[in-house]
Structure 1
Amino acid sequence: MRFCILCLCFALASCQIEIFEKPYVVSELYHLPCTVTTNTKEECEAKGCYYDDSENVPECYQKNIDECTEGTHNCDLHAFCVDLPYSFVCLCKAGFKGNGQSCIDIDECLHPLLNPCEPSAVCVNELGGYSCVE
């Protein structure tokens, strides 16, 4: 199952991540060639590449490494890792801001537009969110 991620950003650079199922993914349309001399399946696989003979002209491509699944990414604990063709991107989770490699908590209590607490309640900042205490 493949997914496409849409990031809807709000005030203070916080993002809400939504995931939608799609019938295709960009990495299936984008390949980096491997450098080979004979373009044979044996040479291609010996270099750790993917051999594709489904078209009229066989080609040798680099395999995409999923850094997110393998755990070789450098995303913050409070970030999503999103695999891209031959790369990855880190996106801070809702309630956090930053570049994805470093995410810090947003204090929603400092900004009335970020918390819907009643006027009689006290806003208490929590990691990645807040609570309203009567």
Structure 2
Amino acid sequence: MQKFTNTTIDPQGLHDRPTGEKGKVKIVGVTKCPVGVAHTYLAAEKLEKAAKELQYEAKIEAQGSQGNENELTPEDIASADYVIVAADVAIEGKERFNGKKVLVLPIKDVIKDANGILQSLPTRAHTY
């Protein structure tokens, strides 16, 4: 379980939130499209890029046609502030996110505006 050490304002200054030792928002996510090819990987890439721009830590699992890539560990999930599930079909292992703040949305939304999605997590994510 993550130990919270202080409180900071998020990059947009909208919400107080507890932070870990590094003081960064930590995001984990899963992307999956029906075919498991282009959109799965494009959405993962968009989330990683947006997280870097916002100075968030992110690890995104892509559940593609060739299997799962960049698979999330229990430690990754436990230390995450938020979970994003960007999928148009059922993902594998959704029970891993029980008790976490999760945002589930269509993959096209992430491809269109990953930055906006990440910034909206404090108000849109709900405990799973």
TM-score range, shorter chain: under 0.3
Which of the pair has more CA radius of gyration?
Answer: 1
Structure with higher helix content: 2
Greater relative contact order (Cα < 8 A, sep 6+) = 2
